[in-house]
Every structure is written in structure tokens, then in C-alpha cells.
Amino acid sequence: MNYVKNIKIVTSQLGFRIESHKYIKLIPGDFAKDIPEKIKFYIQSVGNRLQRDHKIPKVWNDDVFRWPFDIGKGRINDTEKNNMSWNGKPIYIGMLEKKETSWGILWQSDFTDFQNSGIYQIETEYGFSLPFVIEEYPYERLSRSFLIYLYAQRSGMEVPGVRPLENAHDGILDIDGTYIPAAGGWNDAGDHRKWMALTQVNMEGLFNIFQFGHPTFREKVLDEIRWGNKYFHAMISDDGQVYEDLGGGDLKPGFSYDDGWWQENHPGCLAITDPFLFDGVDTDNKRVIRTTYNPVVQYLFIRSQAIISKLPQFEESVKCLKLAEKAWEYAKQINHDQRTLFVCEEVLAAIELYNCKSKKINKEIIEEKIAMVLQRQFHGEGELSGYFLEKDNADGYRSIVYSCEPAMALLRYCELFQNNRNNLYEKVSNAIVEYIDNYLIADSNSNPYKITPYGIYVDPPYSDDQKFRNAGNGRGVRTFIHPFGENTLPHGTNSVIMHQAYLLSRAGKFFKRIDWQKHAEILLSWAFGHNPSGLSLFSGIGFKHPVPASFYNYRIPEACVAGFVGKPDDTPYLEESNGIEWSTQEIWDVPFSYAVSSVMYLKQQ
């Protein structure tokens, strides 16, 4: 059979650490019936290839130059005598085997035992993989890419080749029109809205690069943190309230803040953009700052400012901690509705303040909230256990943005109090292990790429129209977000998977669970191209990508997209045409920051 274009040979386009799990798959397209049960694959130095039975005219002298046309066509001369590349024998020969999986028929293999450093390409009779590296630590590229992306996302300044000067005079309060000099910060998702609940996540990614990344990046990291704080520090009132967002606009008709703002614990999915996309550098228009109290925004501010106040020799450290304490004092006066996300964000904020030796917090407050998080965890016999639930067990805890926040809160408790262990500490440790082993990794065995689950559904919605796997106790589970619901939100789950990769990397380091860290790399490989589309979800990494969707700026040089959604049968879908669909192709800060944080903890093995 000759090479055909819609057969895909997929693996990570970034590459692998030497000891990583390494997987390859052949996606057969429409040709599954024409492919043998087993197929050899060959690892070559990049640019090399095997000889094939091309019909080469005798006049062609190939002693110096290889046959340059249709190089993937023709059968490989696969005998002991002739199984030679143009530069000798292949470096490694493996076998792809046919598998019938929940996501269809494919051919797969594991070449983890191949641990030679270098730049490689995999060849089969049906095509080639894209090039990839194997080296001690290939992830510095991701840090550099993230820093390039954030700089291109800067608001309130000219970024040559990306955007002109705009939004330099943000903004006015929605309550009384008071002008607030809130320029700076980063646009979110390639648009011109500055969501405090989403862009503050970048600060932890930057902190992790500074702490654990290449020293060359440190000054650039500090520069980006300063630019972020130019906005964040303007978004806190004199009495300590942190404002919701700038430029988000009102909700779409028919929704209220309570019923339309927190779909799948994602804030503002049904918001309409401020009618003034720009703040009117040359006009009197100013964009509006929403002053609604948002517990996630409030606690993320406390947490991120406390974290970066720990940076050595950072001139804003004292100010950051003072503002974090000011915001904490305000938050203590406001009751939230105790949903799982809000409780976890409160815990994480308290822990980071405590870590800064703030007198505003004590261990007893932290342990009271930690106990509440533990109460939300499900334990029991059945298909899955260890996952977290919402208040009163109303539903499974699910979140597009903050998927692992309950486990992250517990992990930070363990990290902070590892030298002061008590009965609560042991319960917290066991809870983390149960969540990862009996939920995340247990359910990852349901699919051929070992992708961890999106979430649990206590009462699966519209179960006649969409598939849920049995999670036990009458509950359902999906790998991807459900497409059908009262408030439809078919959102890509790259942010979910990258947050899970971050948890697995960080918890794996703390608990010395190398298997968790290797599973984190499986998830990262999915995002770098080892997926059914064979596309890297990071446009700065690899060679083939989805069309990245930025509705207001298509000149952002490197970005990360929202990623795969799930069809009703819970199989993955990514838009691969030249059509643009925000659900899968919209660029976004959140998964980028989580991915960077994940690889920083892989570096510390």
C-alpha cells in the first residue's frame, strides 16, 4: 500500500526527557482495513530515511543525492540485506500493533526504552512522524514561548509587530464613573478584556520560571511581573476590595450574575464585551471596571501577591505583601456561598499569607478550611473514588479553569507543614494519593492516550443525548466537558489537562512518585501533538498546529489554544479546517501558565 495523506503518525512534537514514557500512534483515517495487524517503525536521525522501491531511472546516479520526489511513497526495502537508510541502518526498530479502543481503531507502540539523546524522526511504510528531540530537559522552549506570548499580550503599550498603543487610559468604575489608572496587565485570550480571575494565574507560572527555570529568563520574568502588577495594583480599592474585571461588559440577555457567571466554575462565560473595545486614547471614551465582589478574584489576588513577595531582591515585595494583607482583611468581612472553588481559593490564599509569616493568619484558620475541603471528598467502593464534590454533594466539583484546586490546596498544606505533621496532615496526604490514584489515573485507563477525566456528574444531564461512563454510585464521568446542558458551554479542556499535569508534576516531586511525574509528561505530550489530530496545541512548539483564534489580534507570535472538546459520545474533537471556532482554537493564558509550572517541577526530579 502506498503512503496516503490522511494516515497520521503522531507523537510529541516537542520531544521527551531521556527517561520519559515515549509513545507513538498511527491514526488510520479511512484505511484501517488495508493496514496489517503489525507494522514496523524505524527511528532515524532527523532528515534520514529508509530506501524504498521507487522506480528510479537508470540515468539517476544516487551515490551523492537521494531520490528527491515523493519520498514517502513506495514500499520500504525491508529485508536484512536491504533494510538500510541512506546513512546506514535505522537507530531503533519497533513494532506498532493494532488496537481496538474506545476512541476507535489505531496502531500504537511504546519506545520508552530508547534513551539516546538526539533529534529524531520516526518512519513507517505509511508515513513519517514530525521531528522531536530526546534530551535531559527539553522544556526550556516552553518557558521562552510563554514569555514571548505574555509580552505580546501586554495591554496599554505598543508591541511592535503585534499591536499599536491602545487602552493606555483604562478605566472608569461602573458605580460612579470614577477614573482609575488601570492600564497595564495582559489581555486575556487574545481579546481586549482583562479578566482578573484568569490573568492572575500567570503570576504563579512566572514565579515558577524565576525559581526553577533557566537563570537567563529571570530578568524578563520580573519585567512581566511588574507589568502585570501595574494593572493588578490599580484594581484594589482603598478599603481592600479587588475589582472583578476591566472591559468584560454585561451578561448576555436572560442571565444574572448568579446563574450565568459561574458555568463549570468558569467566570464570565456569558459576558458581552464592553462596547468600547479600546479606552479611547484619542477620544473621551473610557472602558468600564466591573466592581462586583468576586471571591475567586479576591483570593487569587491575595495568593499571587503573597507568592511573588517571596521573590529575592524584588523591589515590590513589601508592597505586594501589604496589598495581599489588605485584601485579606476585606475578604474576612464578606461571606461567600461556600462552594468548593471559593473554599479552596480561600485556603490557598491563607496558606501563602502564612508562608510569608503574615500576622493576619494562623494555622488554626488554615486547618479549619482544610477540614472543609476534606469533607467534600468522596470515599467509597466503586469505579472511582477520591474526587471532590460541591457543597451538600449537589454535583461533582468540575472546573474549566481551576480543575485541581481542591487537591492543590491540600498539596500546599502538605508542602508547608511537612516538618510539623499531625493526624490532619496524614489525612490530607492520603486524600491527595486517593484523588490521583483512584480518580485521575484510574479513569485515564478508559482511553488510549491515558487522558485524565474532566469531571464527575452526580446526575448526568441529558444522558439520552450524550455519553457518560459509570463512575459508581449512580454517577457519571466524562473525559471532556458535556456539550449539552441548560447553559451550553462546549469549551476545550486543555486548561483542565494542563492543570492536572501541574498537580501530577508537583505532587510527584513532593511524594517522590515518579509514576505521577511520568503521567504528567503523558498529558504534556498530548498537548504537544500525541493526540488524534497530530497537532501541537502550542503554536510556539512543534511544527503543525490548529489555526489559533484571536478575535482581535492575529499577530500574536506564540500561543496555546483551548484544545479538544468532546463529542456527545465523549470522543475528542478539535477543529482542523481553516474555519475558526473559539471552543477549540481560541488562544488562552491559563493552560499555558499551568503547562509552564508543570515542567518546572519535572526539572527538579
Give residue limits of the domains in the chain: 8-135, 140-602
Read off the pLDDT band of 301 (50, 70, 90).
Answer: very high
Taking only the tens place, the pLDDT of each residue in 333-374 is: 999 999 999 999 999 999 999 999 999 999 999 999 999 999
Q: Which amino acid is at 132?
A: F
Q: Which residues contact 299 (CB under 8 A, 6 or more apart)?
A: 331, 342, 345, 346, 348, 349
* Beta carbons within 10 angstroms of residue 582's beta carbon: 19
Q: What pLDDT was estimated at residue 277?
A: 77
* H or E segment and range at residue 9: strand 8-10
Q: What pLDDT was estimated at residue 77?
A: 73
Residue with cell 466524562: 478
Of 434, 432, 485, 440, the C-alpha closest to 459 is 485
Yes or no: say if 124 and 50 are a contact pair by the CB < 8 Å rule. Answer: no
Q: What percent of the chain has pLDDT over 70?
A: 96
Q: What pLDDT was estimated at residue 356?
A: 97
Q: What pLDDT was estimated at residue 179?
A: 93
Q: Which residues contact 411 (CB under 8 A, 6 or more apart)?
A: 432, 503, 506, 507, 510
Task: Extract the C-alpha cell encoding 158.
Answer: 505598543
Yes or no: say if 34 and 1 are a contact pair by the CB < 8 Å rule. Answer: yes
pLDDT > 70? residue 255: yes
Distance from C-alpha of 316 to C-alpha of 184, rounded to nearest angstrom:
16
Read off the pLDDT band of 283 (50, 70, 90).
Answer: low
Taking only the tens place, the pLDDT of each residue in 477-508 is: 999 999 998 877 899 999 999 999 999 999 99
Q: Does domain 140-602 have CATH number 1.50.10.10?
A: yes
Taking only the tens place, the pLDDT of each residue in 159-178 is: 999 988 888 888 999 999 99
Q: Indicate the burial class of 368 (C-beta count within 10 angstroms; 0-12, 13-18, 19 or more).
A: exposed
Taking only the tens place, the pLDDT of each residue in 562-601 is: 999 999 999 999 999 888 888 999 999 999 999 999 999 9
Q: Which residues contact 305 (CB under 8 A, 6 or more apart)?
A: 203, 232, 320, 321, 323, 324, 327
Of 189, 182, 197, the C-alpha closest to 227 is 182
Give Cα separations from 251 to 257, 270, 402 (angstroms).
7, 6, 22
Q: What average pLDDT does range 42-63 have in this prediction?
A: 83
Yes or no: say if 458 and 393 are a contact pair by the CB < 8 Å rule. Answer: yes
CATH number of the domain located at residue range(s) 8-135 in this protein:
2.60.40.10
Strands (E), 218-304: 245-246, 262-263, 266-267, 288-290
> Full-prediction pTM beyond 0.85?
yes
Taking only the tens place, the pLDDT of each residue in 382-407 is: 789 999 999 999 999 999 999 999 99
